[in-house]
Every structure is written in structure tokens, then in C-alpha cells.
Amino acid sequence: MASKASAVWTGSLKEGKGTISTATGVLKDANYSFATRFEGDATGTTPEELIAAAHAGCFSMALGAQLGEAGLKPTKIETHAAVSLGKVEGGFAITRIALTTTASVPGALPEVFAKAAAEAKAGCPISKLFANNTEILLDAKLV
């Protein structure tokens, strides 16, 4: 299975603008620009925001799978991801991803939950994508 998306960009880096769309139509012509990416303009998205959404979703699913393998059924897993873009030698790179998760898991022991969260972090495909070149932090709590 291949997930598909497209981007259209017009103009130079600072003066240009673009749109991002997904094949499913969930995103359709979502605006992005230099200002949204580097200056904090809130009128569009950024590639890093989309990575954050993907990582939060991927990790939550992976944690649900790990908990299920441990015989536990979570009632809610909520994950927030913060993707940091930083200046490095040769340009910019994603330098850190911080995952913050809270989960309601009836009957879960803290050590079982912690093990499931660590395994989800290691096994999530988005985590694997960044594992060798980006710091990935995890703060996972039972609620």
C-alpha cells in the first residue's frame, strides 16, 4: 500500500507559496509558505506539522497494538508530537521530536505500560524513519 500526497509550489523560497493535498482529500489545497514554516504565521501548515500529526497517529496506534499484545485494552490514548526544525551544518534538519502521551488503560501496571510505550516508540514506522538521525523523546503517562 502506498499513501499519496502532492504539493504545488510557485515562486521563490521567501516570496513563494504552495498547497499540499492528499489523495484521500482529507487535505485539499492546504496552504503553506516560508512565513508559516519559519516565521510563525498561522494561516497555513508546514511539512513539520504534518510529520508531527503522522508521528502522533502512528505512535498511538503502535501503543494500542503493544497494549493489546499484553492483554490490555486501552480506552483512550492521546498523543501530542512536537517536531523541531533546526539549523545544522549544511542547512536545516528535523533535530528533535517530542512525543507526549497519556493513556487510560484499565488494569495496566505502570511497568507494563512503560514497556509497551518504549516498544511502541521503537516499532512505530515514523519513529523508525527518524531513529538514526533525530532525537526522539517520549513522555508517556497512565491516567
| pLDDT(10) > 90 | yes
Cα–Cα dist 2/15, whole Å: 32
Looking at residue 84, its pLDDT comes to 96
Cβ(32)–Cβ(16) below 8 Å: no
pLDDT digits (tens, 9 = 90+) for 33-42: 999 999 988 8
User: Helix, strand, coil proportions of the chain in percent (round to 5)?
Assistant: 35, 35, 30
DSSP code at position 75: S
Cβ(57)–Cβ(41) below 8 Å: no
**Domains of the chain, with CATH numbers?**
5-38 (no CATH), 47-142 (3.30.300.20)
Cβ(94)–Cβ(48) below 8 Å: yes
Residues 6+ apart with CB under 8 A from 92: 85, 86
pLDDT digits (tens, 9 = 90+) for 73-127: 999 999 999 999 999 999 999 999 999 999 999 999 999 999 999 999 999 999 9
pTM (predicted TM-score): 0.93
- Give the DSSP H/E element, type plus range, for residue 63: helix 47-69
Cα–Cα dist 93/83, whole Å: 10
